[in-house]
Amino acid sequence: MDPGPQRALNPLAPSQDTAMHVPAGSVTSHWGTTGRGYFCFTTASLALCLVFAVATIMVLVVQKTDSIPNPPGQFPLKGGNCSEDISCILKRAPFKKSWAYLQVSKHINKTQLSWNKDGIIHGVRYQDENLVIQFPGWYFIICQLQFLVKCPEHAVDLKLELLINKDVKKQTLVTVCESGAQTKNIYQNLSQFLLEHLQVNTTISVKVDKFQYVDTNTFPLENVLSLFLYSSSD
């Protein structure tokens, strides 16, 4: 058919020349502009959220600092910076009725750990490797231990258990030396905490399956058992 009549029959159809001459960069330019807009909006939103979060944290820190009274006197620290020392934190805290801070004994010969009797104890009794509660209420209990393992030819399981009245309430387990290769030294930290309502004469103790790996030489000040009365029920 002649090209002239064909164009006459299809007056609305776009010509091939017009379709072939759409600028190739126009679509890319459109999507690029939109993408840049989304990117700028997302970046601005994240920056605003970050500023708000930092401001909130600063307000909370200031409020927490203001709520903690200054200690009436100077206290000898058991180790390091006051801000990082559990005993110092306990001494600065507003609760004074019942709390304890004990370091592990250097002479460990069984799974239930013993603690130095010259630790800091107030409103709690230490007897037969146990802390004994004197006031009922909610207690926060913290235990941290450092281990030093000279790897044998097999894996070693290190387990820390917190016991209330001889019953395991919380435990932490980690396996070291899994590769089987004899490594010179592996240092491992295990810690556990517990918030529990305790009655008078309740006992608290700690057990370690592989007690021979508890490191009392390299980090003697970092093996601690601590608790404080969070809320009294008297």
Residue 83, CA atoms < 13 Å, CB-side half-sphere: 1
Q: What is the pLDDT of residue 94?
A: 53
The architecture of the domain spanning 94-232 is Sandwich (2.60)
- Predicted confidence at residue 53, as pLDDT, reads 56
163, with CB counted inside 10 A (0-12, 13-18, 19+), is middle
pLDDT tens, residue order, the chain (234 aa)? 454 444 444 444 444 444 444 444 444 444 445 555 554 555 555 555 555 555 555 544 444 434 434 443 333 434 444 434 555 655 555 556 888 999 999 888 899 999 998 888 999 999 999 999 999 999 999 999 999 998 888 889 999 999 999 999 999 999 998 876 666 788 999 999 999 999 999 999 999 999 999 999 887 788 999 999 988 876
- CA 90/CA 101 separation, integer angstroms: 8
Task: Please enumerate in sequence order all residues whose Cβ is within 8 A of that of 104, keeping only pairs 6 or more positions apart, or say none.
Answer: 113, 114, 115, 116, 145, 214, 216, 223, 224, 225
Measure the CA–CA gap between 55 and 48, rounded to whole angstroms.
11
The pair of three-digit structure tokens given for residue 229, joined into one six-digit string? 């009365």
CA distance 136 to 145: 27
Tokens, residue 136: 């009922």
Whole-number pLDDT of residue 226 = 93
List the domain boundaries for the chain.
94-232
Task: Check if the beta carbon of residue 158 is closer than 8 Å to that of residue 174.
Answer: yes
Overall pTM > 0.85: no
Q: Residue 45 has what pLDDT?
A: 58
Quick one: pLDDT at residue 115? 94
Q: 96 in helix, strand or coil?
A: coil
